[in-house]
Amino acid sequence: MGKMWAGRTSGKTDKIADDFNSSIRFDSRMYRQDITGSMAHAAMLGSRGIISKEDADTLIDGLQMVLDDIESGALAVDMTCEDIHMFVEQELTNRLGDVGKKLHTARSRNDQVALDIRMYLREEIDTIEALTKDVLEALCDQADTHKASIMPGYTHLQRAQPITFGHHLMAYAMMLLRDLDRLADCRKRMNQSPIGCCALAGTTYDTDREMEAKSLQFDGICLNSLDGVSDRDFCVELMSAISILMMHMSRLSEEIILWSSWEFRFVELSDAYTTGSSIMPQKKNSDMAELIRGKTGRVYGDLMGLLTTLKGLPLAYNKDMQEDKEGVFDAVDTVKMCLQVLAPMIATMTVHTENMKRAAQQGFINATDLADYLVKKGLPFRSAYKISGQLVAKCIQDHTVLEELPLHVYKAYSDLFDEDLYEEIALETCVSKRISQGGTSVPSVEAQIAYVRKELTV
Ligand code: ARG
């Protein structure tokens, strides 16, 4: 089959050049968007009298049949075509003859490709949003179960203050909620129709871009024809939002890997989300969590790739822009897989609350609360801090913990100490007293869960 654009040139290209030039391997996934876009275009041409009403109807019916045949498997996409836009038009023309050739009036592949990617990606955003919500639900459910399960909170990966596991999980929920916001924001800017920008300058035909935009569920149209066909900032934005989402998932995955180690034993992943070692029989590896962490780097690469591709391009379309798709599709496919695996991994993990509690008891993480006890009895904070530190040193020396140090030892450091100190430094007390908004107390975690769950319903 000769090239549809043969004319100015013979269209006889080298085989290797054809393979190099072609994008059908990766853009055929947009066949539905391409065909739907063409149907809206045909309808607009007919309604404006640019082609006859009958021709428009013939084109629409023909396009519907091509779509049905691809979807039923009766028609395979011809991988020797340059791209999906050429394939659909070629197939239509094969079926309809000359009428098929009228479809490409008042449009260009440049606006077609910009249209198809936007339509394809906005659907993908909807899917990513739904999958992110699944992760959020799993986080909220585990947080609810463990809103009172005490674990050490860390800074510098050193035990710092007691928190609850629920509180820790809800930190990730807040991050993912912002990710949802970023995706929605990106979708809003993406949802402007470029169709009708044509090659670059608009067209001499009396088209109705608003009509096309509306019938394809866009919020409006790109107001500058050069911009409409030249920018791929919406792909960059989407990949940025996905990169941030991946970063959040990667940090959580890192913690899950750490918590699953024998050194921590805070959680145990379900067998369904782990693998064994081919040589070491005792191993249970957190491969899925590691892959989420690993794939994050690859998604960052997709983002950097497109940013770099676009940075030196003069307006308007340049073939470099064909490089947009593989990266953005890869980022979208990757994040969807990661979200799909993360949600059930969180939902099915076993939490070893006793190990978490034990770790919290061993790190003197109630030393701040001990100092606060003395402050409440009238000692200045710095003096209280010093006594509390000395008592920690004493515990380390005696291989014990603050909770178990006898009262007479306490009294040797300050006669402000009394029996009630034990209640005051109990880990449960330390947690329940952190009542500030957003703190780790149970009512605060409950409020966070309620907030996120409410956001998930809108
Ligand atoms: N396959 C091309 C792409 O993905 C479609 C647009 C081609 N336009 C052109 N003038 N060569 O970017």
CATH number at residue 384: 1.10.40.30
> Does residue 151 sit within a domain?
no
- Same-domain pairing of 308 and 243: yes
Tens of pLDDT, residue by residue over 200-245, are 999 999 999 999 999 999 999 999 999 999 999 999 999 999 999 9
Residue nearest atom 4 in ligand 1 by C-alpha distance: 322
Residues 6+ apart with CB under 8 A from 362: 159, 401
CA distances from 149 to 145, 358, 385 (A): 8, 11, 27
- Same-domain pairing of 212 and 255: yes
Band (pLDDT 50/70/90 cuts) for residue 458 is confident
Ordered DSSP codes for 167-224: HHHHHHHHHHHHHHHHHHHHHHHH-EE-TT-TTTT--SS---HHHHHHHTT-SEE-SS
Residue nearest atom 3 in ligand 1 by C-alpha distance: 322
- Same-domain pairing of 216 and 343: yes
- Evaluate: CB of 317 within 6 angstroms of ligand 1: yes
Q: 322 C-alpha vs ligand 1 centroid, how far in Å? A: 6
> Does residue 363 sit within a domain?
yes
Q: Is the pLDDT confidence value at 344 over 70? A: yes
- Evaluate: CB of 87 within 6 angstroms of ligand 1: no
- Same-domain pairing of 100 and 117: no
Instruction: Give mean pLDDT, residues 158-172.
Output: 96
> Does residue 6 sit within a domain?
no
Position 5 scores a pLDDT of 76
- Same-domain pairing of 330 and 386: no
- Evaluate: CB of 232 within 6 angstroms of ligand 1: no
> Does residue 24 sit within a domain?
yes
Residue nearest atom 2 in ligand 1 by C-alpha distance: 322
Q: 61 C-alpha vs ligand 1 centroid, how far in Å? A: 26
Range of the domain at 83: 16-105
Does residue 248 carry a catalytic annotation? no
Position 1 scores a pLDDT of 58
> Does residue 333 sit within a domain?
yes
- Evaluate: CB of 237 within 6 angstroms of ligand 1: no
Single out the residue in 328, 356, 384 at which a domain terminates: 356
Among the listed residues 52, 261, 270, 277, the single catalytic one is 277
Q: 168 C-alpha vs ligand 1 centroid, how far in Å? A: 47
Does residue 156 carry a catalytic annotation? yes
- Same-domain pairing of 347 and 368: no
- Evaluate: CB of 83 within 6 angstroms of ligand 1: yes
- Evaluate: CB of 369 within 6 angstroms of ligand 1: no
Residue 2 gets the label, from left (phi > 0), alpha (psi -120 to 50) or beta, of: beta
- Same-domain pairing of 54 and 118: no
Among the listed residues 72, 156, 399, 408, the single catalytic one is 156
How many domains, the chain?
3
- Evaluate: CB of 23 within 6 angstroms of ligand 1: yes
- Same-domain pairing of 246 and 122: yes
> Does residue 26 sit within a domain?
yes
* Domain of residue 52, CATH code: 1.10.275.10
- Evaluate: CB of 55 within 6 angstroms of ligand 1: no
- Evaluate: CB of 309 within 6 angstroms of ligand 1: no
SS3 233: helix
Q: 113 C-alpha vs ligand 1 centroid, how far in Å? A: 7
Tens of pLDDT, residue by residue over 174-187, are 999 999 999 999 99
Q: Is the pLDDT confidence value at 363 over 90? A: no
Instruction: From 22, 30, 90, 113, give the residue whose CB has the most ligand 1 atoms within 8 Å, as the site to mutate.
Output: 113
Single out the residue in 294, 327, 356 at which a domain terminates: 356
Percent pLDDT > 90 in the chain is 93
Tens of pLDDT, residue by residue over 396-409, are 999 999 999 999 99
Tens of pLDDT, residue by residue over 427-456, are 999 999 999 999 999 999 999 999 999 999
> Does residue 127 sit within a domain?
yes
Instruction: From 322, 325, 326, give the residue whose CB has the most ligand 1 atoms within 8 Å, as the site to mutate.
Output: 322
- Evaluate: CB of 110 within 6 angstroms of ligand 1: yes
- Same-domain pairing of 101 and 115: no
- Same-domain pairing of 82 and 135: no
- Evaluate: CB of 322 within 6 angstroms of ligand 1: yes
Q: 118 C-alpha vs ligand 1 centroid, how far in Å? A: 15
> Does residue 3 sit within a domain?
no
Residue/partner pairs of 148-152 with CB below 8 Å, 24 or more apart: 148/431, 148/442, 149/351, 149/353, 149/356, 149/357, 150/353, 150/356, 150/357, 150/360, 150/427, 150/428, 150/431, 151/266, 151/356, 151/357, 151/359, 151/360, 152/356, 152/359, 152/360, 152/363, 152/365
Single out the residue in 356, 373, 406 at which a domain terminates: 356
- Same-domain pairing of 348 and 407: no
- Same-domain pairing of 379 and 274: no
Instruction: From 4, 33, 83, give the residue whose CB has the most ligand 1 atoms within 8 Å, as the site to mutate.
Output: 83
Segment among 1-15, 86-100, 230-244, 354-368 with least mean pLDDT = 1-15
